A and B are shown apart, each in its own frame.
Chain A
């Protein structure tokens, strides 16, 4: 698994790494599901689309993960399969387009309530790109 839980006194923190930005977003979503202990029903499979733009990759990551938090809380849905692309344009540098495939949540251990910007910085590393995300729980 290209993510690991980091120690945090009051909340939850996750380090995620991947070969490129789209995969980093997907692994962050999977890591978030793992942290929350989400178990999905086998059926019905559901599909949702999501698009967003942001001035930088960190903002885009918070938007994406916050959308998943909302789906979990409001619709009791979570996603385990992603078709996701990120384009970088001149006027609004980062643009995300994603198809999310998942299912209703059978059970979860803990609710993630928000995604924070605390020390949020996507870095280039030897294994591609890496980020640490702190969640409010």
Chain B
């Protein structure tokens, strides 16, 4: 059990669990949080999990956790850990089952007033074209060789097939394709799960949401991102579906024996890991990147579907109904990146699980139009509350492995949410506030109720005050499609 007195306060927004807290730690844990949020964080086992994460072999610097952190399994949600490349560890559990779960934001110049009469039919069309829910199949049909090809090519596959444009590709993290993907290292079972689900939202906390840009806090950056006050945007939150889950399941299981061969001892079997430069580590990295590319394509296909819904709703009624990509980010991923550590530039594998890359201005890899601003950091709120568009900063490069928060972060268990909140009541409350809801499961809706989450504004205030992101725009929900 970790208590407040175990933490050293660095400032009002930063705390640390020193490496001396436990004998097996290989570095400290740095927590970005206010005192108030910290009290919520101390209510579950997330900090114990962060301490466990600090035992990963080859850890460089601190394990960093964000203010939206909460208990996961093995590695906390909202955690970031960097391990030395190539001999350090890669841990599938520290990247997560939903490999490359992430968020895509599309902007429009459709003004709210013009859209309001059509919101209901827009929500219905989005629900129709963006399949969501348990066991629902995706929007395209591919065979195994095609699936393997798209796992190698990522979003470029979608570009060649006409599901994407050049702007979509350049405004996707890593241009929508992680190099080094190896579909041969993805099991047949994972491929089978992927075949049926490519181009679908899934269930859980995944969604497609229409919002309005409610406030612009940094006009210059918002303009660079293509965001206009009072205009509609679309957020798409999903990942690699069953394919990614199966890849993680396969390797976590395989590594249970392998880890013993490498003499690695860990406090939690879910953190199981192998050296990146081992045959097993290379196989996992190849499979994980293939799953990540599948997820990029999945969100691209859903963007294509959202565009169909917008066209069908607004064509002939408005002059410009087009959706332009702002950015697409991963928040469950392992990436080899170069970071400044003290006096040295060091290549590390950054494990982000429930944390968003937040590269600051001038960082290589960003599209030219975002070189001055830093990358868009997309922070969806809980259902019915605000979402935020932030920008990465130079401080995030130095303090948090170029990372920031990824959402509001749960604070109430799903069980408690189901008992305390009725899905039908929640739907009525949201509709009364003018938010159109299309949900496959009312109990699933209840689990995702806003009261089950932290206050996203407070989470955002914390990362901004800590300097690891800055505010660009706030989004207000208008319509949500959930599984």
Which B residues lie within 8 Å of A115 (CB)?
A: 249
A residues whose Cβ falls under 8 Å from a Cβ of B: 5, 7-12, 37, 55, 58-59, 62-63, 66, 70, 73-74, 76, 105, 108-111, 113-120, 134, 136-137
Interface residues of B in 413-432 (CB under 8 A from A): 413-416
**A-side contacts of B416, CB under 8 Å:** 7
- Known: A73-B135, A113-B242, A114-B245. Is A10-B253 also a contact (CB below 8 A)? no
Known A7-B415, A76-B135, A116-B73; contact A136-B196, beta-carbon cutoff 8 A: no
Distance, CA A105 to CA B135, complexed state (A): 11
> Does B33 count as interface, using CB distance less than 8 angstroms?
no
Given contacts A108-B135, A119-B270, 8 further A-B contacts (CB under 8 A): A73-B135, A108-B134, A111-B134, A113-B245, A115-B249, A117-B268, A118-B73, A118-B269
CA distance A65 to B111 in the complex (A): 50
Find out whether the CB atom of A109 lies under 8 angstroms from the CB atom of B73.
Answer: no
A114 to B239, CA, bound (A): 14
Q: Which of B245, B246, B249, B441 contacts A110 (CB 8 A)?
A: B441
- CB–CB A55/B135 < 8 A: no
Chain B residue contacts of A120, Cβ below 8 A:
269-270
In the complex, the number of residue pairs spanning A and B with C-beta atoms less than 8 Å apart equals: 105
Q: Given A70-B189, A74-B193, A12–B272 Cβ distance below 8 Å?
A: no
User: Is B71 a contact of A9 with CB atoms below 8 Å?
Assistant: yes
In the complex the two chains form, is A116's CB within 8 Å of B74's CB?
A: yes
Which residues of chain A are near B86, meaning CB under 8 Å?
none
Whether A136 contacts B256 by the Cβ 8 Å rule is no
Contacting A at CB under 8 A, from B279-327, are: none
Q: Which residues of A contact B272 (CB under 8 A)?
A: 117
Contact B269 A9 (CB under 8 A): no
Name the one of B73, B249, B256 contacting A59, with C-beta atoms under 8 angstroms: B256
A7 and B413 contact, CB distance less than 8 A:
yes
Nearest-neighbour CB distance to chain A for B241, whole angstroms, equals: 9
A37:B443 contact, CB within 8 angstroms: yes
Taking residues whose C-beta sits less than 8 angstroms from the other chain, chain B's interface range is 35 or more
Contact between B97 and A114, CB atoms less than 8 A apart: yes
Does chain A have a CB within 8 A of B88? no
B204, CB-defined interface residue at 8 Å: yes
Most buried by B among A12, A63, A73, A120: A73
A73-B193, A111-B134, A120-B269 are contacts. A8–B413 as well, Cβ < 8 Å? yes
Residues of A within 8 A of B134 (CB): 108, 110-111
Give which listed residue, B74, B256, B413, contacts A9 with CB less than 8 A.
B413
Residue pairs across A and B with Cβ atoms less than 8 A apart, 12 shown, are A9-B46, A12-B415, A37-B443, A55-B257, A63-B253, A66-B249, A109-B443, A109-B444, A111-B135, A113-B242, A114-B248, A119-B270
Q: Known A11-B73, A73-B193; judge A55-B256 contact (CB<8 A).
A: yes
B257 touches A12 (CB 8 A): no
With contact pairs A58-B269, A119-B268 given, residues A114 and B135 touching in the complex (Cβ less than 8 Å): no
> What 3 pairs between A and B have smallest CB-CB spacing?
A118-B73, A117-B269, A118-B270
Give chain A nearest CB distance to B466 CB in angstroms: 23
Q: Does B461 contact A (CB under 8 A)?
A: no
Please measure, in the bound complex, the distance between the C-alpha atom of A71 and the C-alpha atom of B374, giving whole angstroms. 45
Knowing A73-B135, A136-B73 are in contact, say whether A12-B245 is a contact too (CB < 8 A). no
B37 within 8 A of A: no
With A7-B413, A113-B97, A118-B268 already in contact, the answer to whether A62 and B253 are too (CB < 8 A) is yes
Residues of A within 8 A of B252 (CB): 116-117
The reply to whether A109 and B441 form a contact with Cβ atoms under 8 Å apart is yes
The complex places the Cα of A137 from the Cα of B415 at a distance, in Å, of: 12
B232 at interface by CB-CB < 8 Å: no
Q: Does B357 contact A (CB under 8 A)?
A: no
| Contact for A136 among B97, B202, B447, CB less than 8 A | B97
CB distance from B10 to the nearest CB of A (A): 25
Bound-state Cα–Cα, A59 to B250, Å: 12
Residues of chain B with a CB closer than 8 A to A111's CB: 134-135, 202-204
Q: Whole-angstrom distance between the alpha carbons of A79 and B412 in the complex?
A: 31
The docked-state distance in angstroms from the alpha carbon of A137 to that of B257 is 26
B411 at the interface (CB under 8 A from A): yes
Known: A114-B248, A134-B73. A10 touches B270 (CB 8 A): no
For B233-250 the 0/1 string (1 means CB < 8 A from A) is 000000000100110110
Complex Cα gap A137–B242 (Å): 11
> Do the beta carbons of B270 and A110 come within 8 Å of each other?
no
Taken together as a complex, chains A and B put the C-alpha atoms of A52 and B248 apart, in Å, by 19
Residues of chain A contacted by B42 (CB below 8 angstroms): none
A120 to B46, CA, bound (A): 17
Interface flag for B72 (CB, 8 Å): yes
Residue B394 at the A interface, CB < 8 A? no
Most chain B CB atoms below 10 A, which of A10, A59, A117: A10
Residues of chain A within 8 A (CB-CB) of B249 are: 66, 114-115
Q: Which residues of B contact A108 (CB under 8 A)?
A: 134-135
User: Which residue, B44, B269, B416, has most C-beta atoms of chain A within 10 A?
Assistant: B269
- Determine whether the beta carbon of B71 is less than 8 Å from that of A74: no
B69 to chain A, nearest CB (A): 10
A117 & B414 in contact (Cβ 8 Å cutoff): no
| Shortest CB distance B202–A (Å) | 8
Candidate in B46, B270, B443 with the most chain A CB atoms within 10 angstroms: B270
Query: A109 contacts which chain B residues (CB < 8 A)?
Result: 441, 443-444
List A contacts of B73 (CB < 8 A): 11, 116, 118, 134, 136
Q: Indicate if B77 sits at the interface (CB-CB under 8 A).
A: yes
Q: B471 within 8 Å of A by Cβ?
A: no
List which B197-244 residues lie within 8 A (CB) of chain A.
Answer: 202-204, 242
Q: Is B192 an interface residue (CB 8 A)?
A: yes
